[in-house]
Amino acid sequence: MLDNIKSTGKKATRDGFGAGIDAISAENDQVVVLTADLAGSLKIQNFIDNYPERYFQIGIAEANMMGIAAGLANGGKIPYTTTFANFSTGRVYDQIRQSIAYSHKNVKICASHAGLTLGEDGATHQILEDLGMMRMLPGMTVINPCDYHQTKAAAIAIAHHDGPVYLRFGRPSWPMFTEDMPFEIGKALHMAEGTDISIFATGHMVWQAVEAAKELAKEGISVDLVNIHTIKPLDEEAILASVKKTGCAVSCEEHNRMGGLGDAIAQVLTGNHPVPQEFVAVNDSFGESGTPAELLDKYGLSVADVVKAAKRALARK
């Protein structure tokens, strides 16, 4: 099955978001879009051109944007807020908690330029804590798609979901999988069947996990590969079904090792079926300026790092 998983080209996940906005806006006239002076970076220019009356340029006032979005949701609109992930979460956490999550407002918080792969903008913009922050909010759905097509599908799907959503995606061009890859909120995607080790990956790290699984296969190691695009609600059934086959696990995320996908999986395992687990994530550190590839290598998120983590987990079985 791994031989059939190939890149069909490269596009940024933020481009997938823009395409998803175009599609859902044509379908649903209650969708409105707000931005904090980053329309170009979030790829919403087509929406602005086609639906100027449904577009709100808030300026560099992210906290105000969240409050306005909550008000629009009160009026029956489906607001999508758009800015960088750091400004979508860390800068406005109080507003999200009080005005959106606490009252379960139907606001879609759409966050680009997340993680180390933001690249040269450096540590101040490379938020690595956002998945943990958002998954701790009661009632918040947290989605981290892996490629252009999955991000497009997610941007469409969240309009049909009642309640607050955090949708995280990235800046760089990234390998794409097939366009017909299914997407359902809260339903993990089983990408390859295996018997030796479970690898759970999210976001850009899905591609790293695919490449690592192929390397492991060359050594006769069979990988059960699962794409966890929805961090919350987590597909516990898929996780447990996988580890019951394999007996050990690796979690892969472009995020701090504390609070994100790895921690979420660990909670499931310790409470239901304890097995050895290794974490591929940033180890309690901020990032720095560099190319995406350089940063993934330096901070332990390369393909080789996934392979090493898999071998450590196997050794602990």
Q: Which residues are catalytic?
A: 62
| Measured distance CA(313)–CA(310) in Å, rounded | 5
What is the arrangement of strands in the sheet containing 31-35, beginning at the earlier edge strand? 55-57, 31-35, 78-84, 108-112, 165-168, 141-143, 230-232
**Which stretch of DSSP H or E encloses residue 157?**
helix 148-157
CA distance linking residue 305 with residue 147, whole number of Å: 21
Residues in contact with 265: Cβ distance below 8 Å, sequence separation at least 6, in sequence order: 200, 228, 234, 239, 249, 251, 277
CB 155 within 8 A of CB 16: yes
Q: Helix, strand, coil: what percent of the chain each, to 5?
A: 45, 20, 35
Q: Give the amino acid at 43.
A: K
Reference 145, options 78, 224, 205, 95; nearest CA is 205
Contact 33, 72 (CB under 8 A): no
